Structure 1
Amino acid sequence: MDWDKLRIFHAVADAGSLTHAGDTLHLSQSAVSRQIRALEESLGTTLFHRHARGLILTEQGELLFEATSSMARKLDTASARIRDSEQHVFGELKVTATVGFGTLWLAPKLVKLYDKYPDLKIDLMLEERVLDLPMREADVAIRMKEPSQSDLIRRRLLSVRMRLYATQEYLDKAGVPETIADLSPYRLICQKPDQPQVAAGARLVQEIMAQNIGSTLTVNNYFGVLQAVLANLGIGVLPDYLTADHKRLVRVLPNLDSGEVPVFLAYPEELRQTRRVTVFRDFVLEEIQAFRRRQSEALLLSEAAATD
């Protein structure tokens, strides 16, 4: 089977259009069309249904596209391993994380990774949707639950809890609640329980909302919640990994928090030896260790202040 024709077929199937595939391949539409017809003739089957809206794969086309997709992933992996070296780490690394963790914890720390490996090209995809790592929608994922797919290397990074925080300025003005029942007159800043988020955080918000909270500000991500809290707008439900980097946050109702939320780093088995993945993994682990040290130091300072 002609490899060049398979490459063109894969581009057309991926784009759903002869014109768009031609643009990607730097070929004319007629040249792409000729190659597809020749491939169909050699296989003795039709690979595409032609419609005014574009091209749709036939059942036989779907089978071939599955095969060429697998080939493309393996070629990408092989190419990455060939290019990687101990001394020089470069190329694209697709990283997916939740909006909150990626925005508030990961992104501000990436300057350290770029300082060591300035030729890296990180594509940081922040969304609550779980991307398919074996299908190479991303190379590495940081997620708030353990991945269910068996062909992934996974490592638990830490456990997070959702807690209540405010600024001292807000508490000086509004007073300090002593029990959850005291929260009614305070403004609560949080994500809506029905929005995509970790279940433990949603349950905590529901528990607080049951106290007949009079004023609320709901935001669709934790970055917005954090900014509102820092602007002295109220008491916010936030992940506890923020406290080490935002000294203005004061814990409210220390006995109230969510259940533990595990944070996992995962990547496909086939990328185990890829240098871009290993340097990113090691960087994250180093930052997690530093984060834990800062948390321990902050706890010791808090306990010492309480005993004074």
Structure 2
Amino acid sequence: MLPLRLINVFDAVVRSGSTQGAAKELNVTQPAVSQAIRSLEELLGVKLFDRKTRPVSLTTAGDILNTGVSDGLNRIAETIDRVRSLHLLNENSVTIACTIGTATYWLMPRLAGFYVEFPDIAVNVQTTVGSPEISPSTDLLIRYGLGEWTDGRSVRLFDERVVPVSSPRVAERYSIMEDLEDAPLLHVVSSEKSWLSWDDYFKRFSLPENNMVGRSFTNYVQATQAALSGQGVMLGWESNTGDLVREGRLIAMKNAEIVPEESFYLVIPSNGQKKSATDVFASWLAALSNDESRDLRDRLATGIVAS
């Protein structure tokens, strides 16, 4: 039997396209990934990657292994979901899936309020890098888009607002939109086309192109932490940085806000299990979002929050 650790490293290299990408995903060093691949090749007695090409490509043996590994890991994931679903049949638990950023900065801080009202219901939060998909263990999902998904019923939670944000120290230097031309920008690399990038933002306001390289991150949690530590200016989304702005930990640039066409929705799967806990939590989220949206509109109208 081959060590599962080596199989996991091989799969990460194939999916990310490089040892560097696999190292980031697995939170290890690049040399450790390279050593694991060499160990796997020695155990099998064949080369799995053609290192003469750039980027490296799979050999015939590597391609065969990749097919088997992909099928095997998918079956393991499906089996784990089925096992988890047995536990989640409990009427007093509900599982909700959302992105890492939404969970960290919007959902998790609000769960304490839910537990005060409903202490007997357990909420399990599943986080994803991209938009969450329905699995056998998922009762609810929070997605960003136009609400036109066909795999469930969509209930709008709140509209998004996008505005450049930075730490108070950085905001002293880059306080107006025109300053962005020379500002150190924090970029989030995302495959989700609906999420605005800095390029989209500059085109929307017909701003001169920013000539600074800036820093790039793979998710909004990393970028937000960089903004909090004063590393630059990031595009702040209400769902991720709204609370931080209201707390004064980040400063929103005035008169620089974009309201995208997309919104955040609560998605109730069409084939989901009918549980009272799911209904209670879904209703609570909808009511909470309505209250917060109304409060934010009031703040904008009175000038308490920069628009």
TM-score by length of 2: 0.60
Q: Which residue number in structure 1 is paired with residue 266 of structure 2?
A: 265
3-state DSSP class of the match of 2:300?
helix
Answer whether contact 1:94 1:138 (CA < 8 A) is retained. yes
Two-structure CA RMSD over aligned residues (Å): 3.7
Q: Which residue number in structure 1 is paired with residue 29 of structure 2?
A: none
Q: What is the deviation of 1:143?
A: 0.3
Report the residue type matching 1:295 in the other structure: L
Q: Quick one: distance in 1 between partners of 2:304 and 2:124?
A: 41
Distance 1:190 1:136, change over 3 A: same
3-state DSSP class of the match of 1:114?
helix
Q: Which residue number in structure 1 is paired with residue 200 of structure 2?
A: 204
Q: Percent identity?
A: 16
Report the residue type matching 1:125 in the other structure: Q
Report the residue type matching 2:144 in the other structure: M
Q: What is the deviation of 1:210?
A: 6.8
Report the residue type matching 2:291 in the other structure: A
Deviation track 1:165-203 (CA, whole Å, cap 9, x = no partner) reads 12333222x243343xx42321111313xx234524135
Answer whether contact 2:103 2:127 (CA < 8 A) is retained. yes
5+ long unaligned stretches in structure 1: 1-52, 63-68, 85-89
Q: Which residue number in structure 2 is paired with residue 188 of structure 1?
A: 185
Q: Which residue number in structure 2 is paired with residue 101 of structure 1?
A: 102
Q: Quick one: distance in 1 between partners of 2:210 and 2:300?
A: 32
Question: Is the deviation greater in 280-289 or in 261-270?
Answer: 261-270
* Aligned length, in residue pairs: 225
Q: Which residue number in structure 2 is paired with residue 167 of structure 1?
A: 167
Answer whether contact 2:99 2:132 (CA < 8 A) is retained. no
Answer whether contact 1:164 1:235 (CA < 8 A) is retained. yes
TM-score by length of 1: 0.60
Match of 1:237 among 235, 238, 261: 235
Write 1 or 2 for the structure with the bigger share of strand. Answer: 1
Q: Which residue number in structure 2 is paired with residue 14 of structure 1?
A: none
Deviation track 1:63-102 (CA, whole Å, cap 9, x = no partner) reads xxxxxx9xx89x969x94xx64xxxxx13x2211012212
Q: What is the deviation of 1:259?
A: 2.7
Q: Which residue number in structure 2 is paired with residue 214 of structure 1?
A: 212
Deviation track 1:130-171 (CA, whole Å, cap 9, x = no partner) reads 4443x5241110001246553522211122132211233322
Report the residue type matching 2:101 in the other structure: G
Answer whether contact 2:96 2:138 (CA < 8 A) is retained. yes
Distance 1:301 1:243, change over 3 A: farther
Report the residue type matching 2:236 in the other structure: L
3-state DSSP class of the match of 1:213?
coil
Q: Quick one: distance in 1 between partners of 2:196 and 2:220?
A: 11
5+ long unaligned stretches in structure 2: 1-67
Deviation track 1:7-43 (CA, whole Å, cap 9, x = no partner) reads xxxxxxxxxxxxxxxxxxxxxxxxxxxxxxxxxxxxx
Q: Quick one: distance in 2 between partners of 1:286 and 1:304?
A: 22
Q: What is the deviation of 1:123?
A: 2.4
3-state DSSP class of the match of 1:201?
coil
Q: Quick one: distance in 2 between partners of 1:215 and 1:151?
A: 40
Task: Write the mapping of 1:124-135 to structure 2, written as runs, cut at 5 A.
Answer: 124-133=125-134, 135=135
Answer whether contact 1:131 1:137 (CA < 8 A) is retained. no
Q: Quick one: distance in 2 between partners of 1:197 and 1:223?
A: 16
Answer whether contact 2:182 2:211 (CA < 8 A) is retained. yes
Q: Quick one: distance in 2 between partners of 1:108 and 1:243?
A: 12
Q: Quick one: distance in 2 between partners of 1:126 and 1:272?
A: 20
Task: Write the mapping of 1:1-308 to structure 2, written as runs, cut at 5 A.
Answer: 80=89, 84=91, 90-91=92-93, 93-133=94-134, 135-146=135-146, 150-172=150-172, 174-179=173-178, 182-192=179-189, 195-197=190-192, 199-202=194-197, 204=200, 207=203, 211-241=209-239, 242-247=241-246, 248=248, 249-252=250-253, 254-257=255-258, 259-271=260-272, 273-302=274-303
Distance 1:143 1:232, change over 3 A: same
Q: Quick one: distance in 2 between partners of 1:163 and 1:304?
A: 12
Distance 1:304 1:229, change over 3 A: closer
